[in-house]
Structure 1
Amino acid sequence: MTSEFLQALSDRQDRDADLKLLQEAIGHESITGNESGFASFLKSRMDGLGLQTGSGDFLPGRLNVWGETKVAGAEAKRLLFVGHTDTVHVRGWQDNWSGKPQENPFSGALMDGHIWGRGACDLKGGICAALAGLRLLQSAGYQPAGGLSFAFIGDEESGEPGTGVSAGAHDLVKRIQAGEIAKPDFAVYVEPTKLDVYTAQIGFFIADVTITGKSAYFGTPELGTDALKATHAILEQIWAHEADLTAGPKHDLVGTSSVLVTDIRGGGYIAVPGECRFSLIRKLRPGEDLNEAVAALEAVIHAAPVADGITLQIDYPAGRDHRFGGSPVEIDRDHPDARLLARCVGDVLGSGGALGGAPYWSEMPFLVNEIGCPAVYCAPGDIALAHTFEERIEVESYLAAVRAFALFVAEYCGLEEAR
């Protein structure tokens, strides 16, 4: 597109309306398990943009929503913007900011060039930038000539009991496979990347390990079997495994594999500890196999020298696209659509749009592996602020994302005059 077109986008952008959209989105509390109100809000905004919309429960009382343009001809490519509607909790937020403008985590407070609130960057900023990008094209007198879709899904975040297993993503994939939602040819998942374009991401699994021995009075420890001593031996093996992983192969975008022990509990009485529990999270590089990584960890745990009478149980509570966890994934970093998106970001910002890898897990594997759709992460916002009391998004970056997404839609889908 020409510099005149870029200038037209800048001239036509309604900054106040774009900021209001994001503030209204933050105002719809959507902590995991309570996404439906926000999802309904997004459906109404897609209706207002003239999209053909749909909705359906991915679990009872929990809503996914989507919208799409209809185009003639099977040859037209289709672009999908997708993001999760749920956020993490806000426990402690109000106490942390008591008496400050950002005290209410759902107010969308505007302070010093940033909009504050839960979900501001993770990832309501990306969702709103995508929708506002279409509105911007319409304001400039255009509509996409090719296929354009949006899908907003719940249950991505972890942390609330009985939730966070990507139930919304599973449902989206099933509806695409059934033909209820048009299959995309390329997808942008709007996780925060500071507007870089991530073609790769890590995988992960969580393991909860329970070590059971036999408790006994401290004066007669010979009558017990010490679960804490066994845990010590197992942890030594795990930390040796960690050293092997971090000294091993390195992916140039996401680094080495690793394992991190995140929690340990045991004992508590004046007695031989009869049980101990710990949790760990294993990071996988693109190309690693989840089944093989799990088998390797279990071999390490079972190789630890523990006393007779010790029993072990290993549970995997965080199945996502895989029963043990979330798969790593990568597309060709020279994929032409990824390069096009990076160029559009660079054209708007004058810099940025670098190709990179996500140091986090999100739901790209559902798109790449289950429906064969190349996908990237790209959106405004800093992932380092997500899930914290500091969550906010820079206003100018968000507004630039609106223009960048509008430009990408124009380049990918082509344009025709709005009717």
Structure 2
Amino acid sequence: MTTTPEQREVLDLVDTQFDDAVQLVRDLIDIPSVGPWFGDDAAVSGEGAVQAFLREHLEGLGAEIDEWEPSVDELAVHADGPGYFADRDFTGRPNIVGRIRSAADGSDSPALMFLGHCDVVPGGPGWTEGPFTSLLRDGRVIGRGACDMKGGMAAALAAIRAVRSSGVQLAGDLAFGSVTEEETGGMGTLALVHRGHRPELGIVIPEPTSLQVAPLCRGIIWGEITIPGKSGHIEIEQPHWQDGGAVDAIAYGRRLLEAIDALNARWRELPEKNHRHMPLPCQVNVAEIDAGTYPSAYAGSFTIRFDIQYLPAELDQHGGGGLVRAQIEEMLRAFAGDDPWLTEHPPVVTWLVDADCGETDDTHPLVIAPQTALGALGLEPVVQGVTSHTDMGLPIKAGVPTITFGPGQLSVAHQPDEYLDLDEFRTCIEAMVLIILDLCGVASADATSDPSTAVDAHA
């Protein structure tokens, strides 16, 4: 591995401080931070506590702090676009941004930001231990958020700490942001962009990518469709519904699922549903089915809830998934056709979440820098988009180049015994150190001897 003296000095500190970095992941996991959208969970509304912990950590790194509770009313100017939800309440759920200035006079220099979300999904059943008590086992740290995404946030903070404690003087500013409300739509990042945090050097979102460089993420739409039926005794011959008989909603539901299968088959062949950086086409994935009340009655309704992915090629004029929602509504009209029952009792589609997508050009320095860093560490870089949603889209629309790059396998996120591999965690910290030095730049060769720029390596 060929590195400069400044790079080598900081990389050596990654090793020295690694136990502290692992403890930081564990400390973050041990603070439950499930958002209130998920319902009555013992860990609901813990975001304020984890944000307070992060604030204290950032202040220890010498960062200037901007902390605020997003305002639904203030953000209503974005109501037609993705990321806005009028029913959210941010009381006790602040966003925080810490900025470490490179200039001695405290003035702004172009900044590089690491941006993460502090909220996690509920713990759920099936855990060996936890989910909000971290566990070290077999070279892994286990707990809710280890992978998504407290491990990535800890990696970024550890990289910042290594740079700061080395005394290397950067030419650009460093920023770290932690937002709420990512797992349920991205309103925290909408608030961050609206507040004016738009770092010139770009944003790295350390979501789990298994250290793949992701210049692209897909948008995600959640929705539900309900087909009305009419309950009646299932064991007897029923008259026509116009004569008071039952209507089996499950029979219509089977037809709807077949219509979705046919739609997915068409989508697999469409260019706008595929991308060179995506291993999978965009599809309608049915995740929940709710029908019927008891075995001896025809179902009076049939409801599905689903997840749809979309790409930047299909963004609507508001920067969201309106064109894709229209495609589903058209499919539903075709499904109902001239069926007499559905004509009088049409299926109802309800849209729940629209979390947008974004893409940064492959040639941008922000996309090149992590590839260069991985190469310097002896790894073959892989460029591949994130098949799920991250918070990339909103800052990209605001003119901020943004990528996703972090430790952990996305496939274990939201699962019991969610984990982070510690070897990969270490490599990610090292890569982030090199990204910082590359994009922010080193101000001068002798700045490392200036004690006023350094954070105590043993703090």
The two structures have a TM-score, normalised by structure 1, of: 0.88
The 5-angstrom pairing of residues 109-258 of structure 1 reads 109-157=135-183, 164-176=184-196, 181=197, 183-218=199-234, 219=236, 220-222=238-240, 223-249=245-271, 250-254=274-278, 255-258=280-283
Deviation at 1:151, TM superposition (A): 0.6
Between 72-81 and 27-36, the greater mean CA deviation after superposition: 72-81
Q: Choose the corresponding residue for 1:310, options 341, 345, 350.
A: 345
**What SS does the aligned partner of 1:62 have?**
coil
Contact 2:3 2:376 in 1 (8 A): no
Matched with 2:55 is 43
When residues 75 and 299 of structure 1 are mapped into structure 2, their CA distance, relative to the original with a 3 A threshold, is same
Unaligned runs of 5+ in 2: 36-44, 71-89, 316-320, 453-459
Between the aligned partners of 1:112 and 1:226, the Cα distance in structure 2 is 52
When residues 207 and 221 of structure 1 are mapped into structure 2, their CA distance, relative to the original with a 3 A threshold, is farther
Alignment partner of 1:395 is 2:422: yes
Deviation at 1:75, TM superposition (A): 8.6
Q: Choose the corresponding residue for 1:83, options 102, 109, 116.
A: 116
**What SS does the aligned partner of 1:129 have?**
helix
Matched with 1:375 is 402
Q: Which amino acid aligns with 1:413?
A: C
Q: Which amino acid aligns with 2:23?
A: K
Matched with 2:392 is 364
Deviation at 1:121, TM superposition (A): 1.4
Contact 1:230 1:307 in 2 (8 A): no
**What SS does the aligned partner of 2:411 have?**
helix
Contact 1:195 1:352 in 2 (8 A): no
Deviation at 1:182, TM superposition (A): 5.6
Between the aligned partners of 2:189 and 2:175, the Cα distance in structure 1 is 15
Between the aligned partners of 1:247 and 1:271, the Cα distance in structure 2 is 41
Between the aligned partners of 2:358 and 2:303, the Cα distance in structure 1 is 31
**What SS does the aligned partner of 1:359 have?**
coil
Q: Which amino acid aligns with 1:131?
A: L
When residues 64 and 195 of structure 1 are mapped into structure 2, their CA distance, relative to the original with a 3 A threshold, is same
Moved over 4 A (4+): 71-75
Q: Choose the corresponding residue for 2:131, options 86, 100, 105.
A: 105
Contact 1:209 1:315 in 2 (8 A): yes
Contact 2:214 2:385 in 1 (8 A): yes
Deviation at 1:293, TM superposition (A): 1.5
Between the aligned partners of 2:29 and 2:107, the Cα distance in structure 1 is 37
Q: Which amino acid aligns with 1:187?
A: I
Contact 1:230 1:310 in 2 (8 A): no
Between the aligned partners of 2:253 and 2:22, the Cα distance in structure 1 is 52
**What SS does the aligned partner of 2:144 have?**
coil
Between the aligned partners of 1:233 and 1:24, the Cα distance in structure 2 is 49
Alignment partner of 1:52 is 2:89: no
Between the aligned partners of 2:198 and 2:297, the Cα distance in structure 1 is 62
When residues 362 and 172 of structure 1 are mapped into structure 2, their CA distance, relative to the original with a 3 A threshold, is same
Between the aligned partners of 1:345 and 1:365, the Cα distance in structure 2 is 25
Between the aligned partners of 1:407 and 1:259, the Cα distance in structure 2 is 39
Between the aligned partners of 2:358 and 2:308, the Cα distance in structure 1 is 15
When residues 366 and 281 of structure 1 are mapped into structure 2, their CA distance, relative to the original with a 3 A threshold, is same
Between 59-68 and 325-334, the greater mean CA deviation after superposition: 325-334
Between the aligned partners of 1:112 and 1:271, the Cα distance in structure 2 is 51
Q: Which amino acid aligns with 1:228?
A: I
Deviation at 1:221, TM superposition (A): 3.9
Contact 1:199 1:357 in 2 (8 A): yes
Contact 2:117 2:178 in 1 (8 A): yes
Matched with 1:283 is 309
Matched with 2:85 is none
Contact 1:251 1:286 in 2 (8 A): no
Cα displacement string for residues 294-321 of structure 1 (whole angstroms, at most 9, x for unaligned residues): 1111111111243333322110111xxx
Deviation at 1:330, TM superposition (A): 1.4
**What SS does the aligned partner of 1:354 have?**
coil
Unaligned runs of 5+ in 1: 98-102, 158-163, 319-324
Between the aligned partners of 1:340 and 1:260, the Cα distance in structure 2 is 35
Matched with 2:21 is 18
Matched with 2:32 is 29
Contact 2:131 2:417 in 1 (8 A): no
> Share of identical aligned residues, percent?
28
Q: CA RMSD in A?
A: 2.1
Q: Which amino acid aligns with 1:47?
A: E
Cα displacement string for residues 348-393 of structure 1 (whole angstroms, at most 9, x for unaligned residues): 3x10432111011111111101x21010000111111111123111
Q: Which amino acid aligns with 1:87?
A: V
When residues 215 and 20 of structure 1 are mapped into structure 2, their CA distance, relative to the original with a 3 A threshold, is closer
Q: Choose the corresponding residue for 2:94, options 47, 63, 66.
A: 63
Q: Which amino acid aligns with 1:259?
A: V
Cα displacement string for residues 165-195 of structure 1 (whole angstroms, at most 9, x for unaligned residues): 322112112211xxxx464431101101111
When residues 84 and 221 of structure 1 are mapped into structure 2, their CA distance, relative to the original with a 3 A threshold, is farther
The two structures have a TM-score, normalised by structure 2, of: 0.81
Aligned length in residues: 394
Between the aligned partners of 1:149 and 1:400, the Cα distance in structure 2 is 21
